[in-house]
Amino acid sequence: MTTRKTCQNSWRNSQFTGRFYFIWWILFLGITFRSYAAESERMSVFVDSLISEMTLEEKVGQTNQYFGGRSKNPNSNINAAQLDEIRAGRIGSYLNVLGADFLRELQRVAVEESRLGIPLIFALDVVHGFKTIFPVPLASAATWEPETVEHSARIAATEATAAGLHWTFAPMIDIARDPRWGRIVEGAGEDPYLGAMMAMAQVRGFQGNNLADSTTLLACPKHFAAYGAAIGGRDYNSADVSDRTLREIYLPPFLAAVQEGAATMMIGFNDIDGIPMTVHKAMIRDLLKETWGFNGLVISDWNAITELLNHGVARDSADAGIQTLEAGVDMDMISRIFLEELGPAVQSGMISPALLDDAVRRILTAKYKLGLFEDPYRYNSVRRETEDILHPDHIDHARVTAQKAVVLLKNEGALLPLKKDLKRIAVIGSLADDRFSPLGSWRAAGDAKDVVTLLEGIRRTVSPKTEVLFTEGCDVNSLNKAGFAKAIHMAVQSDAVILVLGEDYNMSGEARSRSELCLPGVQLDLAREIIDTGTPTVVVLKNGRPLSIPWLAEYAQTILETWILGVQGGPAVADIIFGDVNPGGKLPVTLTRHVGQVPKYYNERNTGRPASKDLMRDSARYFDLPITPLFPFGHGLSYTQFNYSNLGVNVDTEAGATRITCQLRNTGDRAGNEVVQLYIRDRVADVSRPVKMLKGFNRVHLASGEVKLIQFNLDWKQLAFYNRQMEYVVEPGLFEIHIGSSSEDIRLNGSFELDGTDQSVNPNRFTTCQVIIE
């Protein structure tokens, strides 16, 4: 009886406790909601009151962002005339400025010497780090670990805000299916789901939990929309995409970013179906602002309003400015057209004052949320600028992120990892000792002196008794083979060669599209000569886009894809080459055999005559190339092995989800990371669906012999698509399940079936797959 009474009392106590916490939680939510509502009301009242006091010229001034210099030479454009414009209220924001003290003085002029004292917003492209430079976004996507990417963005925000900045023009979340496009380096690759997950992670990282925190930056997803679909991979080119492809491939990362709370949005340079995005009212004002409910501010890209004249859709600057504001753009980046043309347009009745007020309201709201009206100098701490930038913890994270981004493409005969006590190692290739290229494009305040090169990383890692030789062999983009003889002699004299090939920093990025995807210059010729010596050779690729390397894929024993990895890339790659770290990165983009295969992406649709290996059959293929990619999306090897087993499928009609489980075992002799990838195929639908669609993934660490249960909770809303009537629906029918190590290396196959009728789904919500690891 004592035991029973104790149990009953315990149960009663637990019920009381449960009721208490439930009531407490309801009260907390109510208080929080009322507090949020009250703060929102205070903000609206404040902003509207301020707008009512503003002159037309002051309103227009808020929509004008001007440049304080170029990205590589910030602050250089600030002069006495610029200060007078600030005093007159003719500038709302600056880009390409930095420095806690310098920006405090600019802010002081704005808040103490202008009529209304409205603070400025200071912006810079902080894309993959501020001073601590992390792997470029394409490389960060190769980690397949949003948590790591979020932490990188959090550090970048901490450093940038320490230098007085409020706003970054990142993340770049354009889906890119054409590796010729130079800006593929700035995004997460070819897949909308992976891209959306990385977009959300970066928005969280930059903005934190509260924009009023002085370590947070306004995030600015870009470039809305389909900028990455540039025809021929030529930057700034038109995007010729169907409405279905636009909505299912290119828009999901933007929808996800809006859903995550992105405070601002940048519009792309491109046109879609002849309408430049800068004046695409249906996309900006109707879809982004009205349908999606985006309440942040929208900014043009650099001088894009002026470029409407080149597009041939505006008669003059005034026409360009009017069309842009009507389309939904709130702030003009550097063209000054808003500044000079909107006032007269409002006065003459050419444009509604309400549209201008809406733009100004969004700009002032962003400033309010940053806390700048409360304390305009909250981002101007010299102490933080000294203590928070290049902090040792930031450097450590840069190295870890770089390690996770490396993809082992090939490791024939288990050449890697190399022993640290080899007698002599030859490091060949100019990129091995290049301090500038690891910073990549959009390097913010990155400095080459903070870079640790691969050559330095190798020398720090190997035994003191190991002799490390180095020669360039050739320059990256040169046709000069004068250094070949020395490189060959060095290779012959060594126990192993680390051959570093690829692109330098200036071959990818904005306006850096290439017509070829092969190794530039005579690097492939150098590789042939070195590999022909017979010395075991590790090929290390450094590049900002996926390259076509069919000869290396066939004849090189080992290939590491190391991208552009930032200030700690050298030590990180050395950690992997010598086995201190087991590679676990996966390709976020397909590697083609030849530029002629472009565009080649895993989630293609079948045709009526699917590609066949049989050349005697008429099928959708090139007769002079295999039908497969060189390396598929999601590919990446390890120094250990993983076994997939015990696929389980449980359809939960009540929850509207399918629970998919499998076991993952590390069957090798060392710890490692595997990215478990879930792909779905809708077998029969109203319109042809892709042969595979990534719907879930998780990077899992396992010790040798360890087993973990992986559970994907697939929400059926993830199965929705646009039917022939462009209705967003989930159709009943058979769905295939494919789980594996890449889009081609599928280890487990299954299926489930949905009954009933078509179910309409809200197309304006992005749905993720919950993954549970046990």
Residues designated as active site: 301
- The whole-angstrom separation of Cα 206 and Cα 239 is 29
Beta strands 93-95 and 64-67, pairing class: parallel
Q: Both tokens of residue 31?
A: 């208080």
User: Do residues 149 and 140 make contact, with C-beta atoms less than 8 angstroms apart?
Assistant: yes
- The whole-angstrom separation of Cα 93 and Cα 124 is 11
Q: Is 247 helix (H, G, I), strand (E, B) or coil?
A: helix
Q: Which residues are within 8 A (CB) of 314 and not within 5 positions of it... i.e. 6 or more apart?
A: 279, 308, 320, 323
How far CA 452 is from CA of 538, 570, 695, in Å, comes to 20, 5, 37
Q: Both tokens of residue 235?
A: 């930057």
Residue from 218, 715, 144, 266 nearest 510 by CA: 266
**Crossing angle of helices 454-461 and 569-577, rounded to 10°:** 50
DSSP 8-state secondary structure symbol assigned to residue 172: B
Q: Determine the residue type at 703.
A: A
- The whole-angstrom separation of Cα 232 and Cα 178 is 8
DSSP 8-state secondary structure symbol assigned to residue 327: H
Q: Both tokens of residue 103?
A: 């920006």
Q: Both tokens of residue 752?
A: 């489930």
- The whole-angstrom separation of Cα 90 and Cα 92 is 7
Q: Determine the residue type at 161.
A: T
Q: Determine the residue type at 64.
A: N
Give, in degrees to the nearest 5, the angle at Cα 197 between 193 and 202: 145
Q: Is 625 helix (H, G, I), strand (E, B) or coil?
A: coil
User: Do residues 638 and 672 make contact, with C-beta atoms less than 8 angstroms apart?
Assistant: yes
Q: State how far Cα 570 lies from the chain centre.
A: 22
- The whole-angstrom separation of Cα 774 and Cα 759 is 33
DSSP 8-state secondary structure symbol assigned to residue 246: I
- The whole-angstrom separation of Cα 68 and Cα 70 is 7
Burial class of residue 81, CB neighbours in 10 A (0-12, 13-18, 19+): exposed
Q: Determine the residue type at 156.
A: A
User: Do residues 240 and 183 make contact, with C-beta atoms less than 8 angstroms apart?
Assistant: no
In the beta sheet, which residues pair with residue 373?
none
User: Do residues 759 and 735 make contact, with C-beta atoms less than 8 angstroms apart?
Assistant: no
- The whole-angstrom separation of Cα 418 and Cα 420 is 6
Residue from 425, 428, 540, 543 nearest 475 by CA: 428
- The whole-angstrom separation of Cα 311 and Cα 316 is 12
DSSP 8-state secondary structure symbol assigned to residue 287: I
Q: Which residues are within 8 A (CB) of 431 and not within 5 positions of it... i.e. 6 or more apart?
A: 437, 454, 476, 500, 501, 502, 504, 542
> What are the φ/ψ torsions at residue 663 (nearest 5 degrees)?
-105, 140
How far CA 79 is from CA of 67, 85, 236, 490, in Å, comes to 12, 10, 32, 55
